[in-house]
Copies of this chain bind each other. A is one copy, B any other.
Amino acid sequence: MSLLESREPSVASRPQSTPAHRAGPLQPTADARCALRPVGRSRITGGFWGEWRRINAEVCVPQGPALLEAAGNLHNLRLAAGQAEGEYRGVHPFLDTDVYKWLEAAAWQAADTDAAPELDAMISLIAAAQQPDGYLNSWFQVVKGGERYRDLRWGHELYCAGHLIQAGIALHRTTGRAELLAIARRFADQIDSTFGPGNAVDGVCGHPEVETALVELYRETGEPRYLSLARYFVDRRGYGLLAAKDRRAAEAGPAYCQDHVPVREATEVAGHAVRQLYLLAGVADVAAEADDSELRAAAERLWAEMVARKTYVTGGLGAHHDEEDFGDPYELPNERAYCETCAAVASVQWSWRMALMTGQAKYSDLVERTLYNAVLAGVSLDGERWLYVNPLQVRDGYRHPDGDHGVRRVAWFRCACCPPNVMRLLASLPHYFASADDCGLQLHQYATGRFGDESAQGAFAVRVVTDYPWNGRISIVVDECPAKATPWTLSLRIPFWCNGFRLVIEGEPTEAVPEDGWLRLRRAWRPGDALELELSLEPRLAVADPRVDSVRGCVAIERGPLVYCVEGVDHPGGGLDDLLFDPAPGLTEKHDPTLLGGVTVLHGSGRRRGTTALDGARGGGDGAASWWPYRSLGRVIRAKARADAGIAAAEQFELTAIPYYAWANREDGPMRVWLPTS
């Protein structure tokens, strides 16, 4: 295949400092200003995440090609390649990315298993669809007659390129195969010769994503032009280059695609959540590789703002269906939480970059919360159905409208960005769990597997066995370390929610105090040394910042990293809108291996609110009417006193809470994360 061979990337130009082995999606150069570096030899072999990765490998990823065929994505590429006839299918200009993200998932999967059989054919198709100068987008080639870069606001051309680049890198890193990377690089070169100073186009893409991809392409190839181009795209944004040229753009405004203020000056996240998050992943990458402290400060500032004011307790992001954007500060409605699954994936990607750059545990705290709740809720327990939006509440009267943004798990979406995004994250998941620095190894997340790396001092690795998140006990054995008995540091993240932990080293209970979220254990570790960390998973009740109006007077149940919810199916006979939770009796827990793939269920005390007591006939002289849902305060206080006096123990019942990620796997029905207490 001479065409592809001629596109072999110049590996000779890779910086010498890049590790020889292939890691995950993120591989900073040795020159990058990062406190920690990802480790290249991590594997998850069992436990909670092992099972999820099995489902991904055996169900999700294998189903991809047939779904992409049925949805028309491959047909569209064939049209671009001149290999098919007919109408373009679908109405989005970014349908190629579903293919690219699936390819990226299949590529990461190839690190564990044989590569998917459809992979070769898909790469050949993409190669055939690519135009001679490297440009590649089936929508513009087929539907728009080859017009290019004229609608940067909505065209998604660079966004598509970004996903192609990431897929090419993934395949190159896991298998050494260079064809897809060569295709991606030809597209990147076409973009590099088109955009930026001295070139024809001064502009940025309406949907960020290419920035982080270009930095990774720089890391993979050593070609500094890609880093420069990424920096250009980061810094040219915010100057109204994507200003309104059509009605929809005018209504969404420049903040929709983060074009309202340069990121260096921004004080809050804004606009379309996925766009904002991908952009900030790229900002973190550029900051690290270019050692740009101003950009780094912007990323730290925006992360803190987002988490403090615009993040759901699940880690979900995006409060508005309209424009898929962040809401105002503390505007976090539960039933209309958008919390796009893609936003959760992007949040993990960005926070992980921040964790590596800064070494701070809080970023991995958010990664953990987001993975267990906001990401996992997006895929069904059998791996066959998906949610695009992830609300924290479904009311009794919810009608489940059709469409991508309804709340019902479906096999695929018209805009199918989320499923392959989850696939690529799960396929590359071990990458996000551990890191290294010159002093040793850091475990950010806990899963059964082997986590390690090589460094200048030699190889470090630990084996972990755990039933986390069901059980807090995490057994760690040093598997490999430099032969010379020099001290090194094994750092264990103590999640901020953890009310207590117990540490045993070589059978000896050991006192240790975490610093800034890290338990830093420095000693002359030797192979076979054993630790046991036990994190308290005592159930907790969370309340929100009082400015979060939507959950005033409510609590959320949590256990370990898991946020819980109640579902209608567990509470027959009345829905959930009338439910009250009584925190006083506390919660009991029970692991049920037969329920929902095996979950720890929490039970508490609930009752149903009697609304009858609050109803009154019309004209009672105190401002109430039976048909009007608002009452005078005095009337309610009097009615409540009567109602409280009348509560018999018999009216209380056992309330059942399940992990939020497992909801909507039995039947469509009401659900609540936040429970009113009175």
Contact = CB atoms under 8 A, between A and B. Distances in A.
A674 B633 CA distance: 13
A294 to B, nearest CB: 21
A638 interface: no
A633 B542 contact: yes
A514 B620 CA distance: 10
Interface string A524-562: 000000000000000011111111111111111010000
Contacts of A498: 621, 623
A87 interface: no
B399 A91 contact: no
24 contacts: A309-B397, A320-B336, A321-B321, A322-B322, A329-B577, A330-B395, A336-B336, A362-B618, A365-B628, A514-B619, A517-B619, A541-B634, A542-B623, A542-B633, A543-B632, A543-B633, A543-B636, A545-B629, A546-B614, A549-B550, A549-B551, A549-B674, A555-B633, A558-B623
Contacts of A91: 247
A669 interface: no
Interface in A249-280: 250-253, 255, 268, 270
A401 B253 contact: yes
A311 B629 contact: yes
A405 interface: yes
A239 interface: no
A402 B540 contact: no
B399 A270 contact: yes
Interface of A: 91, 247, 250-253, 255, 268, 270, 304, 307-309, 311, 313, 320-322, 327-331, 333-336, 362, 365, 393, 395-399, 401-405, 414, 494, 496-500, 514, 516-517, 540-556, 558, 577-578, 583, 609, 611, 614, 618-619, 621-625, 627-634, 636, 674, 676
Q: Which of A333, A399, A629 has the most CB of B within 10 A?
A: A629
A629 B304 CA distance: 10
A496 B623 contact: yes
Contacts of A402: 250-251, 253
A427 B578 CA distance: 44
A309 B619 contact: no
A18 to B, nearest CB: 33
Nearest to A313: B630
Contacts of A253: 401-403
Given A517-B619, A542-B632, 15 more contacts: A253-B401, A255-B401, A270-B399, A331-B336, A333-B333, A333-B550, A335-B549, A494-B619, A496-B628, A543-B633, A546-B611, A548-B629, A549-B674, A552-B676, A553-B553
A335 B329 contact: no
A676 B636 contact: no
Q: Which of A252, A362, A583, A625 has the most CB of B within 10 A?
A: A625
A500 B621 contact: yes
Contacts of A251: 402-405
Contacts of A336: 320, 327, 331, 333, 336
A331 B337 CA distance: 12
Nearest to A577: B547
Nearest to A404: B251
Contacts of A327: 335-336
Nearest to A631: B543
A543 B632 CA distance: 6
A330 B549 contact: no
A336 B627 CA distance: 24
Nearest to A558: B623
Nearest to A319: B336
A365 B331 CA distance: 32
B548 A308 contact: no
In the A-B complex, the 7 residue pairs with the smallest Cβ-Cβ separation, listed nearest first, are: A329-B397, A541-B633, A545-B629, A496-B625, A321-B322, A251-B403, A328-B395
A599 to B, nearest CB: 21
A554 B402 CA distance: 34
A412 to B, nearest CB: 14
Contact of A624 (B496, B541, B629): B496
B629 A309 contact: yes
A307 B393 CA distance: 22
Contacts of A308: 627-629
